[in-house]
Amino acid sequence: MSNLYKSLVRIEVARLFPSQLKGRPRVLAFDEAFDGIFRVVQTGMPWRHLRPPTVAAITVFKTMHRWLRADVFRTAYQRLLRLHCRRRRPRYYCIDSSYVKSMYGRDCVGRNPTDRGRRATKLSVVVDDVGMPHALLASPANVSDQRLLQPTLQAMLSPPHRGSELFADKGYDSAANRRTARAFGFNERIFKRRTHAKRGVVERYFSWQDKCRRLLVRYEQQVATYVALTILAAGMRLGRCWDG
């Protein structure tokens, strides 16, 4: 499949993992590895059900973790996001969070107050006016939104345009959060009532993310792996929008 994000990942992999001149030749091609990883993310299938043409599924799995340790998916997404912001300046930003049920997570899990205290992870995101994520932060489910605004803004993958509006719902309402938003260069629009004029754009992002079945429930033991796969899915979406 042709996708600008996939091309940027290919460039980053070629830079970090150059072809070996000596030793055993590499068997797994980039397209086969990337397409296998994205297929698992998109369909939610177990890794053991993946059937690559030339290698075993465990080879694709190990390749993914080698790329994750090198932060390949995040670096490529940051480059694409900068290109996206140059072509189209975001009119405003919106922050919100969503709970992700945890099946095998070992870190960053807490009791979900909306699901009878079951183990879950909270994903806090900042999206622009077209629903593209500019920040992704995972935290235990029992952490209040009021405590997540500053670390989420610190996790921005691209520098925000100063003077842009940042919309947030009542859960982020506090004097400290208003000062924090202004310190990051935003015109804060944190509502004091249960209304949110721009909430639809971030809810659409979460709805789109749930279509990637692997991200609907957290199966990864390490939260860094889940966040990286979330960035991969967002990059493929942004790459399709760019190509289109």
E strand or H helix that includes residue 96: strand 92-102
Q: Which of 33, 61, 35, 59 is nearest to 46 (CA)?
A: 61
Q: Considering its fold, how many domains does the chain have in total?
A: 2
22 band by pLDDT with thresholds 50, 70 and 90: low
97 and 83 in one domain? no
The answer to whether position 63 is within a domain reads yes
pLDDT in tens, 47-77: 999 999 888 999 999 999 999 999 999 999 9
The answer to whether residue 217 is domain-embedded is no
Structure tokens at 224: 């860094």
Residues 75 and 126 in one domain: no
| Helical (H) or strand (E) element with 135 | strand 133-140
Q: Which residue has the tokens 């080698």?
A: 66
Residue 189 domain-assigned (yes or no): yes
- At 48, the amino acid letter reads R
Contacts of 226 (CB under 8 A, 6+ apart): 100, 105, 121, 138, 215, 218, 220
Q: What is the pLDDT of residues 118-173, one digit of tens each?
A: 999 999 999 999 999 999 999 999 999 999 999 999 999 988 888 899 999 888 99
66 and 173 assigned to the same domain: no
| Closest to 206 (Cα-Cα) out of 141, 116, 144, 136 | 136
User: What number of residues does the chain have?
Assistant: 244
Judge whether 125 lies within some domain.
Answer: yes
What pTM was computed for the model?
0.93
Cα-flanking dihedrals φ and ψ of residue 114, to 5°?
A: -100, 0
**129-155: string of b/e by CB count within 10 Å (b at 16+)?**
bebbbbbbbbbbbebebeebbbebbeb
Say if CB 163 and CB 187 are below 8 A apart. Answer: yes
